[in-house]
Structure 1
Amino acid sequence: MPPVTAIDAGLRRGPFQVGDRVQLTDPKGRMHTITLEAGKEFHTHRGFLRHNDLIGAPDGSTTTNTAGTQYLAIRPLLADYVMSMPRGAAVVYPKDAGQIVTMGDIFPGAVVVEAGVGSGALSMSLLRAVGESGRVLSFERRADFATIAQANARAFFGADHPAWTVTVGDLVESLPSVVGPASVDRVILDMLAPWECLGVVGEALLPGGVLICYVATATQLSRVAEAMRDHGGFTEPHAWESIVRDWHLEGLAVRPQHRMHGHTGFLITSRRLAPGVTPPLRKRRPGKGYVTDLDGEAEWDAEDIGERVPSDKRVRKVARSMGETSRRLP
């Protein structure tokens, strides 16, 4: 086998080791994620199992607790980790992160700008895509969110990813001092008012570069689409959403699950035009989006669009727990 050189490859292969995250699935499909520690035990209301029984076992093993309940033990995938990791802000769901990586054409070695970081879910997918030869430049207004995101990524990759830089500050103010004109391949904006950033983003993107915005509401979607058209330096925007429905598979009982992953957000994408190029005129231009009290100069906040805002107390608690976890890891 060739030597392991990628930053997280050693954590994804071979027998379970101390410090590995392991996903345990019981016969009813309930999942629990534990971090292996020598001498520690995992307890439920029906018995417990010893971490030592898993340390050294191959990935994809089964183990039985003291009550005779059998568990499947397997390393969690990135999608599993994202859904169970500590959160400060809401995460970009794997179904949307996959769309961003694919439709944004995030390639190895790319220079990618991301704003904001949230809890780091999308950042980890971007880092996986650009590899150690690329760069992900993330911007986050809140220092506590940035701390949680960095701790989550560190726990997943096993170390600070060499391609990742996190800047605490406003994108409009900070981006020009971090990158030069026409030096960025891709920009992903996951923020309340992405239309406010189109000027600096347009300066930073290479001709042909891709801009993707992730927004929660139709009002935001309309506003950013019109701003892209008004800017004049982007191609006609394209918008969509992804809806995922699982299926129940048991013998001949094959049917859609009763619950599904419905609307999480809209994605809208556009390409940067070359300097001085005017986009072709549309044969039929849609009418302007309607104006609300939030349009104009008023600043948007998360509560305006119905987003659940984590309390400062909860964020401090998550950040504190992440710091304690980091100190326990080897």
Structure 2
Amino acid sequence: MSATGSELRRGPFAEGERVQLTDSKGRLHTITLAPGKQFHTHRGYLQHDDLIGSPDGSTVTNTAGFQYLALRPLLADYVMSMPRGAAVVYPKDAGQIVTMADIFPGAVVVEAGVGSGALSMSLLRAVGESGRLHSFERREDFADIAMANARAYFGTDHPAWTVTVGDLVESLPGHVEPGSVDRVVLDMLAPWECLDVVGQALTPGGVLICYVATATQLSKVAEAMRDAGEWTEPSAWESLVRGWHLEGLAVRPQHRMHGHTGFLITTRRLAPGVTPPLRKRRPGKGYDDVASGADADPGVPEALPGASAEEWTPEAIGERVPSDKRVRKVRRSVTG
């Protein structure tokens, strides 16, 4: 039995496939092949029929004599060009999550915060048909967009994937048995609110990895993990990717780079009743200490460290929030 979607990754181009076109200046265009259709630019057009049936890695010439290189988009290319409602987890972070959380074939994984489905597709590729991915998303429109994107990439609904519209804390206990989950991936505003229910679902030694956008979120979830007493000492990092310009003797870093997109923080579930070793160094003051006024600096406003649950919104942490009109438009375009 072949892996889901593997037949779409090889062989000649077929009707309904996405193809990535690269022009002589390195500009990328993604099209979906359909008989009789044309791809137009200000420099002429080309026929989709000239690509259907051609092997991957072919070139095609448009009516003005300009050549394009035609390739199947890799997963990293696909997620950056697919329709999106919410912002996507960039490939550089998705790769870190799959590796550092040790997502393995056959694993039972819980994901919260589906967004547009970019990370879900990487997780599905990692767990395979023998694993399970339970994804939870509060917004039905985001869930619809994510499932449509994954369906377009794999060619069908992935058999290992279950998407639930609802809150993770309320829904997770009804979907998994206690201690049956191998890995949990949280991409949400306030992951510290889910530590109790996630801890009950994870098997001893299971990995929890959280993706957060700001240093305030990072600090909040790290202190919550320590206070819970059920987790190993958390580790946190971010990845920065800088490409290089390669042309003759002009070999140098590119002027633009993929800078900060988010922080990753990971920890592992301790066995029941186990107390983590005492820290050798005293941690910095947590949010609760500062908010309560204990040894607080009178020059620091209390509202920032002690932010209430209502203040943890996408706008408050500087995220660009898509308008409802734009999300409805994307949802219609991918679900028909």
State the TM bucket, normalised to the shorter chain: over 0.9
Write the distance in 1 (CA, Å) between the matches of 2:27 and 2:307.
48
Q: Does 1:32 align with 2:32?
A: no
Describe how 1:66-215 pairs up with structure 2 within 5 A.
66-215=63-212
Listed as ranges, the gaps of 5+ residues in structure 1 are: 325-330
Corresponding residue number in structure 2 for 1:304: 316
Conserved? CA contact 2:184–2:208, under 8 Å: yes
Describe how 1:223-302 pairs up with structure 2 within 5 A.
223-290=220-287, 291=291, 292-293=302-303, 295=306, 297-299=308-310, 300-302=312-314
How far the C-alpha of 1:298 sits from its partner, in A, is 2.9
Listed as ranges, the gaps of 5+ residues in structure 2 are: 292-301
Amino acid at match of 2:271: A
Corresponding residue number in structure 2 for 1:328: none
Runs of 4+ in 1 over 4 A off after TM superposition: none
Conserved? CA contact 2:144–2:335, under 8 Å: no
Write the distance in 2 (CA, Å) between the matches of 1:288 and 1:200.
25
Deviations 1:14-67 (CA, angstroms, capped at 9, x unpaired)? 000001110000000000000100111101011000001001100000000000
How far the C-alpha of 1:105 sits from its partner, in A, is 0.2
Corresponding residue number in structure 2 for 1:318: 330
Q: Does 1:43 align with 2:55?
A: no
Deviations 1:290-323 (CA, angstroms, capped at 9, x unpaired)? 5452636432210010001111110000001112
Secondary structure class of the residue paired with 1:32: strand
Write the distance in 2 (CA, Å) between the matches of 1:23 and 1:83.
12
Write the distance in 1 (CA, Å) between the matches of 2:177 and 2:13.
44
% identical aligned pairs = 82
Write the distance in 2 (CA, Å) between the matches of 1:237 and 1:140.
25
How far the C-alpha of 1:165 sits from its partner, in A, is 0.3
How far the C-alpha of 1:289 sits from its partner, in A, is 3.5
Normalised TM-score (structure 2):
0.94
Amino acid at match of 1:64: T
How far the C-alpha of 1:7 sits from its partner, in A, is 1.3
How many residues end up aligned between the 2 structures?
321
Secondary structure class of the residue paired with 2:309: coil
Q: Over the residues paired in the alignment, what is the CA RMSD in angstroms? A: 1.0
Normalised TM-score (structure 1):
0.96
